[in-house]
Amino acid sequence: MAVTSTTATSVADICRSARRAARELAQIDTARKDAALAGIARALIERTEEILAANALDMEAGREAGLGDALLDRLALDAVRIAQIAGAVQDIVALPDPVGETIEGRRLPNGLDIRRVRVPLGVVAVVYEARPNVTIDATALCVKSGNAIVLRGSSTAAHSNAALAQIAARAAVAAGLPEGCIGLVAGGGHEELAQLARQNDTVDLIIPRGGEGLKAALREVATVPVIYAASGNCHVYVDASADLDRAQAIVLNAKTQRPGVCNAAETLLVHDDIVPDLLPDLLRALGEQGVLVRADKRAWKLAEVMTPEELAVGEPLGVVMELATEEDWATEYLAPTLAIGVVDSVEDAIEHISRYGSGHSEAILTCDTDAARAFQLGVDAACVYVNASTRFTDGGELGMGAEIGNSTQKLHARGPIGLRELCTYKYLVTGDGHVRD
């Protein structure tokens, strides 16, 4: 059985096949879904060489096309990453099945029993760029939550996505899941994306994972509901009372552990009182990690490094520094670049984040409980951290299993989109001959 794709089938036919599969999948018990996921995980390991061969074709094409290092890192697979992807599928097997879960229940005064229970959304389309691991992460989450999935990756990962989707589809059907529950839309361009985005009769939700260009393209054409997995212009604010050793470790982790992802820090805000104590050592450490710093004038002055004019003849403290512009505060670099600004209070930090942040992940480093509480209440973001790195905004790290993306919207799903976020609910009402007066 080959995975359904547009190489042989139209977008509409793939979505209709997924709709038929979704009706059956919604009624399948947890044991069979878990068996299918376990089969997918095994197949990934068994067919690692096949996946790597497909990925090598994408990597070669990416280098020839001049893709940047961050995009190539997202695209790259090796045996370790494939094992991690398979492990994430096994983690989802271990998670509770949300389908059928009672959210609340009560008996009305007239004797009617009401239960609100979780049910699958139906057909979820995931549109994504570069990251082939999304093919499996999204598939596993949809299978566990009883949803059929239609995958539409980018041309940069076409070979990798095709191999992964085919392996997953074969393993799922072999375990007793319905044909069409995993569909791949391959090839085509903007017209194909528009077709998928207009499948109102068959697709219940679209989740895009990619850059602002992808989101803008969907906004122009989508008639199917969309949850936008947001960009991550994330901030770390170091308050006056922060433990400086911890602060340096957290900032380095948030920026350098994997700079090309949406939960990496892009801006560091530092309280005026601690700039001379924090920045010199931190700048040296950032320089050792190859980070380019774009700092405001106060950071240049208070860190007692060279002025922007003097930068032409040297690199202060071993780090390449440039003077920040207004554009830097609003930029998601997805690269080893960090904007640094100085503020006078937690309120100023909150104001800066409110102006420039994307609502993804924001962190305060402080030993002052009042400052921490003010930050938690004042910052409007999907995830707000106290004394922890923004890199924890991840379904796996937060105990939700793999995720499809991170939403900054406020309706239905916010933050990591995991199993429960792929469900809606319905009311089950039981009476005993009840009629309404």
Do the domains spanning 11-229+404-430 and 234-392 agree at the CATH topology level?
no
Bridge partners (DSSP) listed for residue 426 = 117
Q: How far apart are CA 197 and CA 74, in angstroms?
A: 25
Residue 191 pLDDT > 90, yes or no? no
Phi/psi of residue 35, each to 5°? Answer: -65, -40
* CB-facing half-sphere around the CA of 230: CA atoms within 13 A: 24
User: 119 is written with which tokens?
Assistant: 């049910």
Q: How far apart are CA 29 and CA 273, in angstroms?
A: 59
Q: How far apart are CA 213 and CA 225, in angstroms?
A: 18
pTM as predicted: 0.82
Residue 311 pLDDT > 80, yes or no? no
Q: How far apart are CA 433 and CA 437, in angstroms?
A: 13
Phi/psi of residue 3, each to 5°? Answer: -60, 135
* Cα angle 98-103-106, degrees, rounded to a multiple of 5: 145
242-295 confidence digits (pLDDT tens): 999 999 999 999 999 999 888 999 999 999 999 989 998 999 899 999 999 999
Class of domain 11-229+404-430: alpha beta
Domain boundaries, the chain: 11-229+404-430, 234-392
Q: How far apart are CA 407 and CA 418, in angstroms?
A: 11
The band of 313, judged by pLDDT with boundaries at 50, 70 and 90, is: very low
Q: Span 234-392: which CATH code? A: 3.40.309.10
26-51 confidence digits (pLDDT tens): 999 999 999 999 999 999 999 999 99
214-229 confidence digits (pLDDT tens): 888 899 999 999 998 6
SS3 per-residue string spanning 157-193:
HHHHHHHHHHHHHHHHHHCCCCCCCEEECCCCCHHHH
